[in-house]
Structure 1
Amino acid sequence: MKSAVTTFANQKVLVLGLGMSGVNAARLLNRLGALVTVNDKQKFDDNKAAQSLLADGIKVITGSHPVELLDEHFALMVKNPGIPYSNPMVQRALELKLPIITEPELAFEVSDANWIAITGSNGKTTTTTLIGLMLNEGGKHAYDAGNIGIPISQVTQTAGPADTIVAELSSFQLAGTTTLHPHIAVLTNIYEAHLDWHGSRANYVAAKMKITANQTAQDDFIMNWDLPEMHELAKQSHATIVPFSRQGAAGARATLTAGWLCFDGEQIVPAADLQIPGTHNIENALAAIAAAKLSGVDNAAIARVLRRFTGVKHRIQYVTTIAGRKFYNDSKATNVEASSVALNAFTQPIVLLAGGLDRHLPMDDLVPLFKNKVRSIVTFGQTAPLIEATAKQAGVPVQTTKDVTTAVPLAFAASEPGDVVLLSPAAASWDQFPNFEVRGDAFITAVKQLEGEQA
């Protein structure tokens, strides 16, 4: 962290919403001498984070978001990324022309580390993890942070000028950035996602593109050149464009060529050596290779990482094999596009576990994948009727059950040796779980119990 940050000293700052990012933002601001007020809608008696901050001497207001709080003339609002701009508190702040940022922006403003920032509809966490592993394997000192689950405002207090922060950034986080300026930015892909929050696809894309908004020609912007939209979006950036391509797109620097993952024509590792399944993971690996090479990591270090990396938890994560069936946890697949990627990752017949929060989004795109890839489906949650209808349209047998835990033995019974049993819900978890991680852990627990019963 910069040694003498005075920007926030004696400034009244409102941290709106807690969670890990809000707690760490509040603590960082307090350390920097700001006059911090935290406002969270969860009641104080049930709010351990608020209790902890109060013990640190930080002003805490809980139980609701009182708009009149903004009459206290704050200089800045640090907003939880999940709170939409339609929130009354945020709307009032906008009316008052109060600057509103998210926690990554705060972290960047006080950081003196190098930054590599990664965003995209899918593949962010895997790409972020790979880049961090490659940099550390290559003798650099890198910290993974951001949407990957580690608050950047926590990491930035440790990371110094010789270190690199590898930051996974969601569209929600990027929407609240103004000065963010990574020296390397990565855009893995863009699909339809979070339109209920952003209001339109144009707003969603604009939020993603803030990752490169402050870059210059001395910076690098790594983009997926297999997607035609990227060619147009690249024109909005002042950075040096570094394309990657799995499909042989002209001009790409990180490529899949004759079965090898390459950079600037140099062979780095055979695609067959990757431990993570699916063509989408080839794309993630190519994006990571580009970032690592631009950071000065040698080919041998990159190859070692790719040969031993078995995946990120909850993202097509191999769990175990039971009686010839391989079980995979892809709880992070909270939309149709992510589940489509998972289904396309396997050549074996699949027994699919799917279901979750109903956002009233169509699932028609899953029909051909169900028809060609899936042996049977077990569904649960609010979207169960929609998935059941989609399965019947594809002519695939389907069972409905209570939740992911009860789905596991049903899926095993519907499978055959050589099959993949895959949790890839195609829906958010919030109808039954606080987040996709808890849902994935419930799946893993149920699989391990099944394994014990079958032993």
Structure 2
Amino acid sequence: MNKLMDFPYTHILVLGLAKSGTAAAHLLLANEKKVRVNDMKTKENDAIVTELKMMGAEVIVGSHPVSVLEDIEIIVKNPGIPYDNSILTEAVRRDIPIITEIELAGQLVEGSIIGITGSNGKTTTTTLTTEILRESKHPVKVAGNIGLVATEVAQTLAENESLVLELSSFQLLGIEKFKPKIAVLLNIFEAHLDYHKTMENYKEAKFNLFKNQTEDDYLIYNADDLQIVEAVKQASSKKIPFSINKRLEKGIWANDESIFFKDEKIIDRKDIVLVGAHNLENILASIAAAKLCGANNDGIYKVLTTFTGVKHRLQFVDNINDRLFYNDSKATNVLATQKALSSFEQETILLAGGLDRGNEFGDLLPFLQHVKAMITFGETKEKLKKIAEEANIETIILTKDIEDAVRKAYSVSAANDVILLSPACASWDQYRTFEERGDMFIKAVHKLL
């Protein structure tokens, strides 16, 4: 098991358990640190409390008393806990550093880290990069925001293995020395402002991805995103741009027929099975990251000619009586739904709605030309109804949940229609996660059979 080699703190507070907090506590205890754990939702008689106490941790649950900060040198916080939490605001006042377990994971890895972030496309790019490396026989593991705790995976990483990390802004906000050998910055647009408060704060968190990189590292970035082009000027690493709009002599790019890495043709686009212009960007970034890590063109070709998408991310579900069902439950914001709608030219029935974060949906209007019907649900169903009316969509149906929406969508569909779940909203008004929402969609589609 890999050990923490450069972590000079002795008294640590782990704030928030869940998967990442529990893993961080285990890691710190295994490295003979003095660990105090504080979690609001966990109960005193929960098994994890007993386990951590038996391992030597002090565990305080059910509240956040300021006394948990006594003698603490650094806080490892769960990424989902906002910085206006009372313990964190007091920690800032006391100049106590605050990190996430991603910082710990970075100190466990002797091989290469490929760190991938962006407002959209992280999971697809992370998965593609990992699969390409595997098909190229390069030792690799994957972790991070994709669902596997980074510190757990990093502890088991061999010296010759690479670690592909999907990184959220929440995770990147809490780093000190963490740096990937290869950084991938996909895109930036307004998101998670309920957490970050301002767009500048959000961008700063994302740009932490490359802030510690040196000239020995690589930064793969979207040359079609002007905010990113401006931001990467401050990076010290070697820059590898990608573009779906222009030729790049020193980067990776695509024209209407093929994909090229610099002047080397990699694959014809007609051979790629993953749909959507946004996925073409993800593909370019994945190829660049994998090639820099030692992937070969055979591995790239095999993955891109067979990979049909990540679950809940423009995932093809089924063809029922010539209706094509796609699950894009991960589309928790307007930009993601714009990209999903842009992936199809045939008539589409859009299922959308969810948590109301106070935003409007006017930016969807230019992307609704092929939408013949909109089926809405959740807290935002009335807002989306108004946008559908502005777009002169003839069929607009308000429903109570995903299952109801699928039935109604099918009832107004015709052969060759796309029936697309792309909510443009988070799921938390009705479903615990976007995965749960997507699974309900899949079950509802299968019930139609």
| TM above 0.5 | yes
How far does residue 258 in structure 1 lie from its aligned partner after superposition? 4.5
How far does residue 398 in structure 1 lie from its aligned partner after superposition? 1.1
Given that 1:131 and 1:292 are in contact with CA atoms closer than 8 Å, whether structure 2 keeps it comes out as yes
Given that 2:183 and 2:209 are in contact with CA atoms closer than 8 Å, whether structure 1 keeps it comes out as yes
After superposing the two structures, state which structure 1 stretch, 167-176 or 12-21, moved more. 12-21
**What TM-score results when the alignment is normalised by the length of structure 1?**
0.95
2:229 to 206, 231, 241: 231
* 1:26 is aligned to 2:31: no
**What TM-score results when the alignment is normalised by the length of structure 2?**
0.96
Given that 1:8 and 1:34 are in contact with CA atoms closer than 8 Å, whether structure 2 keeps it comes out as no
Write out per-residue CA displacement over residues 258-280 of structure 1, whole angstroms, 9 at most, x where no aligned residue: 41111111111111222211011
Write out per-residue CA displacement over residues 338-369 of structure 1, whole angstroms, 9 at most, x where no aligned residue: 11111111112111111110001121011121
Q: What one-letter code is carried by the residue in structure 2 that aligns with 1:135?
A: L
What residue number does 2:65 align with? 66
Given that 2:256 and 2:269 are in contact with CA atoms closer than 8 Å, whether structure 1 keeps it comes out as no
What residue number does 2:131 align with? 133
After superposing the two structures, state which structure 1 stretch, 89-98 or 47-56, moved more. 47-56
What residue number does 1:390 align with? 387
Where 2:178 maps in the other structure, the secondary structure is coil
How far does residue 295 in structure 1 lie from its aligned partner after superposition? 1.2
How far does residue 373 in structure 1 lie from its aligned partner after superposition? 2.1
Aligned pairs for 1:370-409 (under 5 A) are: 370=368, 372-396=369-393, 397-409=395-407
Distance 1:6-1:105 versus aligned 2 partners, 3 A rule: closer
Structure 1 distance, partners of 2:411, 2:57, is 54
Q: What one-letter code is carried by the residue in structure 2 that aligns with 1:113?
A: G
What residue number does 1:368 align with? 366
Q: What one-letter code is carried by the residue in structure 2 that aligns with 1:389?
A: K
* 1:429 is aligned to 2:431: no
Where 1:143 maps in the other structure, the secondary structure is strand
What residue number does 2:218 align with? 220
What residue number does 1:256 align with? 254
Q: What one-letter code is carried by the residue in structure 2 that aligns with 1:180?
A: F
Q: Which runs of 5+ in 2 are unaligned?
A: none
Q: What one-letter code is carried by the residue in structure 2 that aligns with 1:58?
A: A
Given that 1:355 and 1:425 are in contact with CA atoms closer than 8 Å, whether structure 2 keeps it comes out as yes
What residue number does 2:208 align with? 210
Report the aligned-residue RMSD.
Answer: 1.7
Q: What one-letter code is carried by the residue in structure 2 that aligns with 1:178?
A: E
Where 2:362 maps in the other structure, the secondary structure is coil
Given that 1:271 and 1:282 are in contact with CA atoms closer than 8 Å, whether structure 2 keeps it comes out as no
After superposing the two structures, state which structure 1 stretch, 260-269 or 182-191, moved more. 260-269
Given that 2:258 and 2:266 are in contact with CA atoms closer than 8 Å, whether structure 1 keeps it comes out as yes
Where 1:196 maps in the other structure, the secondary structure is helix
Distance 1:47-1:314 versus aligned 2 partners, 3 A rule: farther
Write out per-residue CA displacement over residues 38-71 of structure 1, whole angstroms, 9 at most, x where no aligned residue: 211114069565455446453322222222321x
What residue number does 1:326 align with? 324
Given that 1:244 and 1:252 are in contact with CA atoms closer than 8 Å, whether structure 2 keeps it comes out as no
Structure 2 distance, partners of 1:147, 1:399, is 34
How far does residue 99 in structure 1 lie from its aligned partner after superposition? 1.3
What residue number does 1:311 align with? 309
Structure 2 distance, partners of 1:317, 1:405, is 17
Q: What one-letter code is carried by the residue in structure 2 that aligns with 1:65?
A: H
Taking only the aligned residue pairs, the percentage that are identical comes to 45
Query: How many residues in Structure 1 have an aligned counterpart in Structure 2?
Result: 448
1:290 to 284, 288, 291: 288
Structure 2 distance, partners of 1:51, 1:132, is 36
Distance 1:36-1:278 versus aligned 2 partners, 3 A rule: same
After superposing the two structures, state which structure 1 stretch, 428-437 or 40-49, moved more. 40-49
How far does residue 27 in structure 1 lie from its aligned partner after superposition? 1.1
Given that 1:179 and 1:214 are in contact with CA atoms closer than 8 Å, whether structure 2 keeps it comes out as yes
Where 1:398 maps in the other structure, the secondary structure is strand
1:84 to 82, 85, 101: 82
Given that 2:36 and 2:68 are in contact with CA atoms closer than 8 Å, whether structure 1 keeps it comes out as no
Structure 2 distance, partners of 1:64, 1:5, is 33
How far does residue 447 in structure 1 lie from its aligned partner after superposition? 1.1
